[in-house]
Copies of this chain bind each other. A is one copy, B any other.
Amino acid sequence: MSRRPTLSDVAREAGVSVSTASLAFSGAGPIAEQTRERVHAAAAALGYAGPNALGRQLRSGRHGVVGVVIGDKVKRSFRDPVSIQMLDGLVSTLSELRLGVMLIPGMEVDETGAMKVDPLLETSGMDVAVLIWGAHVDDPRLDVLRRRSIPVVIGEGNPSPGCSLVAIDDRRGVAELAEHLYSLGHRRVANVTLPFRMGREAGWIENPRDEDIDWTPTRNRLEALEESRLDVVATYETPASLVESGADAARHILDPARWPDPSQRPTAIVAQSDLLAAGVVLGAREVGLRVPEDVSVAGFDGVDLPWLGSDRLTTVVQPLEAKGEALGRAVDALIQGRGATEVVLPVELRVGTTTAPPPAV
């Protein structure tokens, strides 16, 4: 027989009916041990490797696949260890539920400048979609998914009716971080922010309160800092959470020409991610400032930064793997038909070696 054997071939070979053969593999019903063995022997003889996934999927109406929508091209998304650790938790959790993770790049900007949703999102089969970096306002990806009636789990913000949500308590984290700096004696700080929405450039923000911020973590962390007792004397927006962007921001913020009276210079820089903060540390050293003696630096995320050497970043640790697991549980709940859920995970301040009292004037 040249074509691949099917369950009915096996059943015929074993001299039983297909449904019995099915039971022999699934174990979903009572079956005589002897029959089971006969079926497996027949399968082995025919080189049958178990029930075909396609047949089972059509029958059950489930793909066994979760689409994970990353924000951008794989390369850009995964330069950030934050995404990766989250994905790790998600993949392990789903793997235990026998669900595969399919990677779906986010949107592309086509020749005309319009946003185009990846074709995989339009046609590919999946039981649930996870937008790990949240949804934009009027997000076309959400429209597509809604039209296809695919349930959605959103990571981090801009909750949308009918979608599950997994977020972190970043406002409280930033508030604690601000208190830590305040209690060390800092008053004037600079803020290095994540991008406000897709496709932003690096640059100063004159009045953060006037800005329309589409991306929730950016907004939460910025607002929490603004609402703290610290005086945010400068805000620099970055185009992405990257070491280079942080270094660039530090160069601008600490530029001596900007502070004719050095005593007015911010004594601490708060970066909204650890990668940015690492860049800020490098940038500060480049312009000849010591961290933390001359300027304190703090980050957000709590990822490993091997190349900072013996320095340990003061940061707000978010439970990345737990977040991935929570996303996985939210997926499971939707598949089980248990409806949309919302979770907010706690974060924790971790004081390292990059913050200290401000220099005596």
Which chain A residues have a beta carbon within 8 Å of chain B's beta carbons?
4, 47, 49-50, 52-55, 57-58, 61, 63-65, 67, 73-75, 78-79, 81, 84-85, 87-88, 91-92, 95, 98, 100-105, 118-120, 122-125, 147-149, 242-244, 247, 278-279, 282, 286, 306-307, 309, 321
With both beta carbons as reference points, the residue of chain B lying nearest to A67 in the complex is identified as: B100
With A57-B58, A58-B54, A307-B307: A85-B81 Cβ-Cβ less than 8 Å: no
Contact status A64-B125, CB under 8 Å: yes
Separation of A4 and B125 alpha carbons in the complex (Å): 15
A101 is contacted by which of B61, B87, B103, B247 (Cβ under 8 Å)? Answer: B103
25 residue pairs A–B, Cβ–Cβ below 8 Å? A53-B124, A54-B63, A57-B57, A57-B125, A65-B100, A65-B124, A74-B92, A75-B85, A75-B88, A78-B78, A79-B84, A91-B105, A92-B105, A95-B105, A95-B118, A95-B119, A98-B120, A98-B124, A100-B102, A102-B102, A102-B103, A243-B306, A247-B306, A282-B307, A282-B309
Query: With A49-B148, A95-B120 in contact, do A88 and B74 touch (Cβ < 8 Å)?
Result: yes
Contact of A50 among B65, B75, B123 (CB under 8 A): B123
Chain copies in the assembled complex: 2
Q: Taking A55-B58, A73-B88 as given, write out 13 further A-B residue pairs in contact, using a Cβ cutoff of 8 Å, ordered by the A residue number.
A: A49-B148, A50-B148, A52-B125, A54-B61, A67-B100, A73-B92, A74-B87, A74-B91, A75-B321, A95-B105, A98-B123, A102-B102, A103-B103
Expressed in whole angstroms, the minimum distance between the Cβ of A143 and any Cβ of chain B is: 11
Contacts of A73 in B (CB 8 A): 88, 91-92
Q: How far is the CA of A148 from the CA of B50 in the complex (A)?
A: 8
Contact of A57 among B54, B119, B242, B306 (CB under 8 A): B54
A4 partner residues in chain B, CB cutoff 8 A? 149
CA distance in complex: A242, B84 (Å) = 16
Bound complex: CA of A326 vs CA of B247, how far in Å? 35
Chain B: minimal CB distance from A47 (Å): 8
A122 to nearest B CB, angstroms? 8
- Complexed CA–CA distance, A119 and B57 (Å): 16
**Cβ–Cβ < 8 Å partners of A98 in chain B:** 119-120, 123-124
**Within 8 Å CB of A67, what residues of B?**
100
Partner of A102, one of B55, B101, B123, B309: B101
